[in-house]
Structure 1
Amino acid sequence: MRWEDYRQSENLEDRRGGGGEFAGLPGGRGGIGIGTMVVLGLVGWALGIDPRILIGGAEMIGGIGGRSAPTQEQRQSAGPPKDEMGRFISAVLAQNEDIWSKVLPQQANRKYQPPRLVVFDGVTRSGCGTAQSAMGPFYCPNDQRVYLDTSFFQEMQRKLGGGGDFAYAYVIGHEVGHHIQNLLGILPKVNQMRERLSERESNQLSVRVELQADCFAGVWAYNIKAMDRIEPGDVEEAMRTAAAIGDDKLQQQAGRGAVVPDSFTHGSSAQRMRWFNAGFNSGSMQACNTFQTDRL
């Protein structure tokens, strides 16, 4: 994936260094205890967190852990980082900004308002409560920020066999996909519906949310290809990653015995690959309507 010559986003907050600027913070008012929000081991690292707590890969649902906005101290850490991984994330975020600033008005008649992306070490605050590295990347609709501890990429490659620049960019694109859902009013509607649903039905709705975010990441990839920034093997990297974080694959690797589809929260490996490809092959947001189809 070609990114080195791309501009750097101004919407990145670098909170890394010394375990993170806010390392060791308790949940505080509206925070979430470690026992509630940390899923140990492979499944936690691979985004398989209870959808009632998180939405996205793992993405945090609005209404959990309070709604306090980031403090002024946190905002002061904004600016493009100088290390290679930080510059990569900033460039991928900038690509998303440039693409969605065109695609969203053209295809959905909505102005794109870019999210901010927070890079942190270990623990930090978010508008959805305390964020910790074991939660994996997530999008918080309350403050419209993506939260990412880059150690997730190391774990993704070491434990799941999914790695490489384009695979990492796919993860970021997935989280930005949740921001698109928030701008379109999809996430607020989903949260309202979940309050009336059983756990099984809530899980099914979560799968549709996640697969649509995968599809939106595919729309991003379609445009990256059109910009001649995809290299041989890039799409295969994304497909390996999508397959590695399917719920069925994770349950098998976690040694849970039989795969239980009713417990899926993000979709099977085949579903995640299919919906990424739906966006990638078409470049159309209309191809990403996972809420009006019986076949996921």
Structure 2
Amino acid sequence: MDWKGRRQSDNIEDRRGQGGGRGNPFGRGGIRLPTGGGGMRASGGGLKTIIFLVLLFVVLRACGIDPTALLEGVAPGGSGSVTESRTAPTSARQDEMKQFVATVLAETEDTWTGIMKSEGLDYPQPTLVLFTGSVASACGNASSASGPFYCPADSKVYLDLDFYNELSDRFGASGDFAQAYVLAHEVGHHVQNLIGVLPEFNRQRQAMNQSEENQMSVRVELQADCFAGIWGHYTEQKGILETGDLEEALNAAQQIGDDALQRSTQGYVVPDSFNHGTSAQRVKWFKRGFDTGRLDSCDTFNDPV
């Protein structure tokens, strides 16, 4: 991709260096949707933890220690921070990756603003949250094991940039347009949220069994792939794509299909557990969006997937 020197989005929230460890980026597939009640339910263990924290707060106060100072990283009785910064220093490569995803995000903003305007709709832009290790979202806490995800409750896309290293080194999907495809897919979920697809899925899934939910999730994910392809279509029209870019995206779609991932990680496939789509399906729907550039070509709910 010829991306350098182009506009970068300001809709970036950088939380890198504030999280914990990493895990399998494909360990928990699927978009993270809020539960029907929209809140978090406390378990018995959670209640015990709350009681313990309240008691600890009282004890520390009795000992003349300010608990809030501990939470803020100030040593008891001291005046300075325990660490100079909560955010770990980032490498030059990571900083370049931030510029890259900010540019890709800006391109998705331009594309979807134009498409929505042609439909008589506004396009509220999503925010991209960069994190390392783990992160808190309005859809709950997540680790890097989730892979990139979109949270409809706060209209934010969450991405650990180290995911791209794993995508390339472990799963053989290298190249900047492969990386752009992953981000464009998550932005596709944002589009789905705006046009009502995600809210309807979230409503219907409450009455579904696991197998039915997985089947519907596949159709949701494949539509996001198709929407990513639409973005690629308009990116190509701008002359940003370079030789081999399309092949990079198609290879990425091939490598992160449910069947390919299960075969590489566990040696066998369980079709009933698929929730993103097979390699062939993901390639098909990205390519359809790329070839047509039309929203009506991405009806994964009525067309055979």
- Bucket of the pairwise TM-score, normalised by the shorter protein: 0.7 to 0.9
2:81 is the alignment partner of 1:102? no
Cα offset, 1:49, TM superposition: 2.0
Which has the higher mean CA deviation after the structures are superposed, 233-242 or 116-125? 116-125
Select the residue among 266, 273, 297 that pairs with 1:287. Answer: 297
Select the residue among 21, 27, 35 that pairs with 1:63. Answer: 35
Cα offset, 1:164, TM superposition: 1.1
Q: Which residue of 2 aligns with 1:232?
A: 243
Cα offset, 1:292, TM superposition: 0.9
1:14 & 1:209 partners in 2: Cα distance? 28
2:190 is the alignment partner of 1:179? yes
Whether the 8 Å contact between 1:215 and 1:279 is mirrored in structure 2 is yes
Select the residue among 100, 103, 108 that pairs with 1:91. Answer: 103
Whether the 8 Å contact between 1:66 and 1:129 is mirrored in structure 2 is no
1:265 & 1:282 partners in 2: Cα distance? 25
Whether the 8 Å contact between 2:147 and 2:160 is mirrored in structure 1 is yes
Whether the 8 Å contact between 1:120 and 1:150 is mirrored in structure 2 is yes
1:205-242 per-residue CA deviation (whole Å, 9 max, x = no partner) reads 00000000000000000000000000000000001100
2:301 & 2:199 partners in 1: Cα distance? 14
Give the alignment of 1:1-296 within 5 angstroms.
1-17=1-17, 20=18, 23=19, 41=24, 45-46=25-26, 49=28, 55=30, 59-63=31-35, 83-106=95-118, 108-257=119-268, 259-293=269-303, 295-296=304-305
- Structure 1: which 5+ runs fail to align? 25-33, 69-76
Which has the higher mean CA deviation after the structures are superposed, 84-93 or 121-130? 121-130
Whether the 8 Å contact between 1:16 and 1:121 is mirrored in structure 2 is yes
Going from structure 1 to structure 2, the CA distance change for 1:13 and 1:65 (only over 3 Å counts) comes to: farther
Going from structure 1 to structure 2, the CA distance change for 1:173 and 1:141 (only over 3 Å counts) comes to: same
Whether the 8 Å contact between 2:36 and 2:206 is mirrored in structure 1 is no
1:233 & 1:272 partners in 2: Cα distance? 18
Identity %: 48
1:167-216 per-residue CA deviation (whole Å, 9 max, x = no partner) reads 00000000000000000011010011111111111110000000000000
Cα offset, 1:2, TM superposition: 1.0
Runs of 4+ in 1 over 6 A off after TM superposition: none
**Match for 2:138: what amino acid?**
G
Going from structure 1 to structure 2, the CA distance change for 1:121 and 1:179 (only over 3 Å counts) comes to: same
**Match for 1:49: what amino acid?**
R
1:222 & 1:240 partners in 2: Cα distance? 17
Whether the 8 Å contact between 1:208 and 1:291 is mirrored in structure 2 is yes
2:294 & 2:186 partners in 1: Cα distance? 18
Whether the 8 Å contact between 2:12 and 2:130 is mirrored in structure 1 is yes
Name the SS for the 2:158 alignment partner. strand
Q: What is the TM-score with the length of structure 1 in the denominator?
A: 0.81
Q: For the pair shown, which has the larger CA radius of gyration, 1 or 2? A: 2
Aligned residues: 255
1:112 & 1:149 partners in 2: Cα distance? 25
Whether the 8 Å contact between 1:177 and 1:214 is mirrored in structure 2 is yes
**Match for 1:212: what amino acid?**
Q
- Structure 2: which 5+ runs fail to align? 41-86
Whether the 8 Å contact between 2:11 and 2:128 is mirrored in structure 1 is yes
Give the aligned CA root-mean-square deviation in angstroms.
2.3
Name the SS for the 2:207 alignment partner. coil
1:288 & 1:127 partners in 2: Cα distance? 28
Q: Which residue of 2 aligns with 1:74?
A: none
Q: What is the TM-score with the length of structure 2 in the denominator?
A: 0.79
Name the SS for the 2:223 alignment partner. helix
Q: Which residue of 2 aligns with 1:28?
A: none
